[in-house]
């Protein structure tokens, strides 16, 4: 019986979870779902100087947010590379015993000196036939064979590497610890990994790892190296320079479904005239052979546009539920006892169509749950600059004192003042909006004013008028 395909995702916990890593994880996850295979999560935590449990948990949480976790039978793990160090060393020593690896005592300075003398860059294989064994300051190097190494890549086709351009690379450091190359291969072998799908930056490692697989007498996996993500300057996304953390986008209120959909359009596209499609359609259509070879631009503006579409497509109840982290608890800009869920439910339909990120919701409704709004000085100055602003706002206030306090009547009052002064509704609303909400933008004005109530509305207009005076 044929073995089910086993795909692995092997992040290093050295920082926040990168959006490029998230896309690679989704590729592996979808392929596992398509083939009834297994997605193996292996945390490569061998860099003690940079690893942090916080980063590990961040990876697990971000993957779970994207729907990749143990709740699905296709998921396996997490495994931790650090637990397998003895196996890595044993495999390296086996290669030494078979003559496929050898020890070298040259320091970095020695190698550089020889490079100047010989005119050959890098390590020149000096210790190949010196018969050295393990010892202080000795590294174990793989003996790269002559000829070439062909990597059959599901994205890039046949990629041939001239072995003469690959120096004998290190398997064990001078302190006896294994390097990434041997650790990665041994773990893949022990975990029966059949497919390696990863970013193209790892392609130069593929011939080295394939050599190790073959030297250990095991058939290498199926390779696939997908294009990297780049910023608007077409530079590879950098944790130091760019906004790349999945956690940050989640905190801002990007929906998981929107993030999944958007990431899958970077270097690949579903059929049809729209990129916004159900994840089930993506699972049904995705293939490595249709992945673009060129780097993909991670466009934050486009991601937000995707998210806005997903927000608008939510049911009202789902939208309200999704907003809760920003309405309750530490994220809320008002006291907990001031929040009224019924009031928010009334205004939610107006807000839902106007936000791109869930974090924008509080700033659209905070005036409803605060005693007085915090007035934006720039918006105030602009709205109250016209000579008619004070006079018309006073007239609007007088109208609000006696009219029926509902959205339709409130709008009629403002329209009547506008006709008197030959001002369009949109222009006349500006000082009123700033007075009531503190801002120049927000949801349609009259429904929120109705929710706010007559007393609170008049009080805010008086405060704004006093501020102007």
Delimit the domains of the chain by residue range: 377-468
Q: What pLDDT, on a 0 to 100 scale, did the predictor assign at position 52?
A: 79
Residue 232 pLDDT grade (very low, low, confident, very high; cuts 50, 70, 90): very high
How much is the mean pLDDT over the chain? 95
Residue 467 pLDDT grade (very low, low, confident, very high; cuts 50, 70, 90): confident
130-164 tens-digit pLDDT: 999 999 999 999 999 999 999 999 999 999 999 99
- DSSP secondary structure string, 213-261? HHHTT----EEEEEPPEE-TTSPBP-TTTS--BHHHHHHHT--HHHHHH
Residue 469 pLDDT grade (very low, low, confident, very high; cuts 50, 70, 90): low
Q: What pLDDT, on a 0 to 100 scale, did the predictor assign at position 63?
A: 98
Q: What pLDDT, on a 0 to 100 scale, did the predictor assign at position 31?
A: 98
Q: What pLDDT, on a 0 to 100 scale, did the predictor assign at position 218?
A: 97
CATH of segment(s) 377-468: 1.10.10.350
Please say if the pLDDT value at position 1 is more than 60. no
Contact indicator for 333, 370 with CB cutoff of 8 Å: yes
Residue 121 pLDDT grade (very low, low, confident, very high; cuts 50, 70, 90): confident
Q: What pLDDT, on a 0 to 100 scale, did the predictor assign at position 118?
A: 85
Q: Which of 239, 243, 420, 467 is catalytic?
A: 239
Q: What pLDDT, on a 0 to 100 scale, did the predictor assign at position 198?
A: 97
Q: What pLDDT, on a 0 to 100 scale, did the predictor assign at position 329?
A: 83
Please say if the pLDDT value at position 48 is more than 90. no
State the Cα–Cα distance between residues 301 and 307, nearest whole angstrom. 10
pTM above 0.85, yes or no: yes
Task: Let me know if 116 is a catalytic residue.
Answer: no
Residue with the larger pLDDT of the pair 442 and 27: 27
Worst-scoring range by mean pLDDT, 104-108, 197-201, 353-357, 373-377? 373-377
Q: What pLDDT, on a 0 to 100 scale, did the predictor assign at position 181?
A: 96
Average pLDDT over residues 290-310: 96
Please tell me which of 44-48, 50-54, 302-306 the model is most confident about, judged by mean pLDDT: 302-306
Please say if the pLDDT value at position 70 is more than 80. yes
249-273 tens-digit pLDDT: 999 999 999 999 999 999 999 999 9
H or E, element range at 39:
strand 38-43
Q: Indicate the burial class of 346 (C-beta count within 10 angstroms; 0-12, 13-18, 19 or more).
A: middle
State the Cα–Cα distance between residues 435 and 430, nearest whole angstrom. 9
State the Cα–Cα distance between residues 359 and 332, nearest whole angstrom. 10
169-218 tens-digit pLDDT: 999 999 999 999 999 999 999 999 999 999 999 999 999 999 999 999 99
Please say if the pLDDT value at position 115 is more than 80. yes
Query: Burial letters for 384-400: b for 16+ Cβ neighbours within 10 Å, e otherwise?
Result: beeeebeebbebbbebb
DSSP 8-state class, residue 106: -
Average pLDDT over residues 16-21: 95
State the Cα–Cα distance between residues 85 and 68, nearest whole angstrom. 27
Could you tell me which of 457, 356, 444, 454 has the C-alpha nearest to residue 405? 454
């Amino acid at each position: 019986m044929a073995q089910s395909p086993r795909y692995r995702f092997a992040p290093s916990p050295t920082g926040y979870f990168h959006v490029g890593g998230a896309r690679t994880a989704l590729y592996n996850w979808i392929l596992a779902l398509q083939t009834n295979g297994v997605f193996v999560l292996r945390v490569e935590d061998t860099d003690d100087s940079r690893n942090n449990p916080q980063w590990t948990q961040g990876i697990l949480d971000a993957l779970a947010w994207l729907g990749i976790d143990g709740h699905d039978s296709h998921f396996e793990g997490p495994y931790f590379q650090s637990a397998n160090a003895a196996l890595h060393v044993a495999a390296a020593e086996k290669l030494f015993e078979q003559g496929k690896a050898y020890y070298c005592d040259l320091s970095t300075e020695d190698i550089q000196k020889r490079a100047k003398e010989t005119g050959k860059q890098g390590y020149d294989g000096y210790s190949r036939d010196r018969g050295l064994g393990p010892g202080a300051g000795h590294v174990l190097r793989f003996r790269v064979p002559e000829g070439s190494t062909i990597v059959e890549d599901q994205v890039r086709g046949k990629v041939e590497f001239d072995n003469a351009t690959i120096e004998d690379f290190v398997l064990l450091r001078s302190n006896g610890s294994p390097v990434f190359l041997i650790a990665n291969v041994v773990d893949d072998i022990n975990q029966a990994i059949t497919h390696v799908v990863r970013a193209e930056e790892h392609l130069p490692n593929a011939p080295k790892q394939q050599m190790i697989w073959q030297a250990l007498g095991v058939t290498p996996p199926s390779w696939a190296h997908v294009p990297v993500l780049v910023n608007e300057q077409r530079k590879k996304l950098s944790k130091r320079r760019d906004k790349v953390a999945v956690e940050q986008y989640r905190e801002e209120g990007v929906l998981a479904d929107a993030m999944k959909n958007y990431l899958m359009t970077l270097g690949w596209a579903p059929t049809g005239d729209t990129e916004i499609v159900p994840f089930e359609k993506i699972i049904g259509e995705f293939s490595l052979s249709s992945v673009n070879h060129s780097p993909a631009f991670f466009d934050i503006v486009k991601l937000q546009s995707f998210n806005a579409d997903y927000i608008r497509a939510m049911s009202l109840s789902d939208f309200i539920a999704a907003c809760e982290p920003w309405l309750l608890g530490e994220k809320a800009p008002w006291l907990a006892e001031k929040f009224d869920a019924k009031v928010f439910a009334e205004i939610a339909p107006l807000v839902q169509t106007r936000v791109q990120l869930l974090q924008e919701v509080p700033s659209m409704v905070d005036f409803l749950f605060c005693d007085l709004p915090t007035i934006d000085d720039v918006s105030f100055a602009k709205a109250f600059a016209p000579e008619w602003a004070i006079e018309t706002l006073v007239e609007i206030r007088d109208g609000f004192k006696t009219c029926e306090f509902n959205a339709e009547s409130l709008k009629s009052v403002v329209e009547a003042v506008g006709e008197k002064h030959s001002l369009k509704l949109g222009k006349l609303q500006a000082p009123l909006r700033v007075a009531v909400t503190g801002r120049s933008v927000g949801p349609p004005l009259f429904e929120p004013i109705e929710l706010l109530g007559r007393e609170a509305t008049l009080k805010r207009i008086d405060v704004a008028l006093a501020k102007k005076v």
